[in-house]
Amino acid sequence: MNNTTDTPINVIGLGRMGQALAGAFLKAGHPTTVWNRTASKADQLVAAGAQLAPTVGDALTAGSLTIICVTDYPAMYELLGAGDVALDGTTLVNLTSGDSAQARDAARWAEERGARYLDGAIMAIPQVIGTDQAVILHSGPQQDFEAHRSTLDALGTVTHLGADHGLASLYDVAGLAMMWSVLNAWLQGTALLRTAGVDAATYAPFAQQIAAGVAEWLPGYAEQIDSGSFPAEVSALETDAAAMAHLIEESEAAGVNTELPKLIKAMADRSIAAGHGGEQYPVLIEEFGRSRES
């Protein structure tokens, strides 16, 4: 496989993200063929040297590596499932956001039509595509990723997560869970402190320090989860639960929202009731690892 910047690339979908992807390939020197339903979105790329294909089918035949990035999976099926579109001989890298089941279904669908298929998730905004800040996750056959790795490198920091096509989407939502949890915790604290006249900007550096400190614990706590053993080396869950009660009381007294603190405490209380009060915080993985119905 030719992995130099001479490798031709096809990019289908030129929304905000697709334009950034095609632009990064062009900047890296790849002959880039583009197609978009609204053809005018290709104008700037064409001015920068891209070829505009008249149809999706034509775009797919320009080179053997095709990136697709459209709104959702149904849009991808609509485009690539058309009668005049041949996928055989193509490696299709789908950077459209979706869930893991959609990714696995799309892999089967594409492979039945003779394509090699890698799924992907973009954890970045268009403005940083083409820089190290752009984290792009891929999953699917390792050999297909390796065959195109140096080409995909033009997009940012690219990583292969494993052969299961669903992994990129799973990491994507896991990352979102992390992001929203950190932000929600910060908003809870900010709401509390504002009642005492402390503004968000004053609290933010302190919150940042706490978040960074807690992040340091993750590898060690992960070892506890993977080994299924949770000795209370730092503190016991029942000690944390007592502090959670303080957070609820403070929030109630200040007249701010208590939904999040109560949710966290309810999970800890269930774990303590199941006999885990003397173990360390990551024992809560057992609460997170099952649905409430089971």
User: What single-letter DSSP state applies at residue 203?
Assistant: H
Q: Is 3 within 8 Å of 150 (Cβ atoms)?
A: yes
Provide the minimum distance between the beta carbon of 107 and ligand NAP in the complex, in angstroms, as a whole number: 17
Residue 36 tokens read as 């978009």
Find tokens 């979105």 and name the residue.
41
Q: Is 14 in the site for ligand NAP (CB under 6 A)?
A: yes
Provide the minimum distance between the beta carbon of 60 and ligand NAP in the complex, in angstroms, as a whole number: 14
Whole-angstrom distance, CA of residue 147 vs CA of residue 12? 20
Q: Between 13 and 63, name the residue whose CB sits nearer to ligand NAP.
A: 13
Is 230 exposed, middle or buried (CB count within 10 Å of its CB: 0-12, 13-18, 19+)?
buried
Provide the minimum distance between the beta carbon of 183 and ligand NAP in the complex, in angstroms, as a whole number: 17
Of 26, 69, 152, 155, which one interacts with ligand NAP (CB under 6 A)?
A: 69
Alpha-helical (H) ranges within 13-63 are 16-27, 43-47, 56-62
Q: Is 156 in the site for ligand NAP (CB under 6 A)?
A: no
Binding mask 97-126 for ligand NAP (x = CB under 6 A): x------------------------x--xx
Q: Is 18 in the site for ligand NAP (CB under 6 A)?
A: yes
Of 5, 8, 15, 200, which one interacts with ligand NAP (CB under 6 A)?
A: 15
Q: Name the residue whose CB lies closest to ligand NAP.
A: 15
Binding mask 124-143 for ligand NAP (x = CB under 6 A): -xx-----------------
β-bridge mates for residue 11, sequence order: 34, 67
Q: Is 17 in the site for ligand NAP (CB under 6 A)?
A: yes
- Measured CA to CA in angstroms, residue 187 lies from 206, 268, 276 at distances of 13, 21, 29
Q: Site residues for ligand NAP, window 71-100 (CB under 6 A)?
A: 71-72, 75, 78-79, 96-97
Which residues, other chains included, contact 113 with Cβ-Cβ below 8 Å and sequence gap of 6+?
86, 87, 88
Q: How far apart are the first and last CA of the chain?
A: 49
Q: Between 137 and 237, name the residue whose CB sits nearer to ligand NAP.
A: 137
Interface residue list for ligand NAP (CB under 6 A): 13-18, 36-38, 41, 69-72, 75, 78-79, 96-97, 122, 125-126
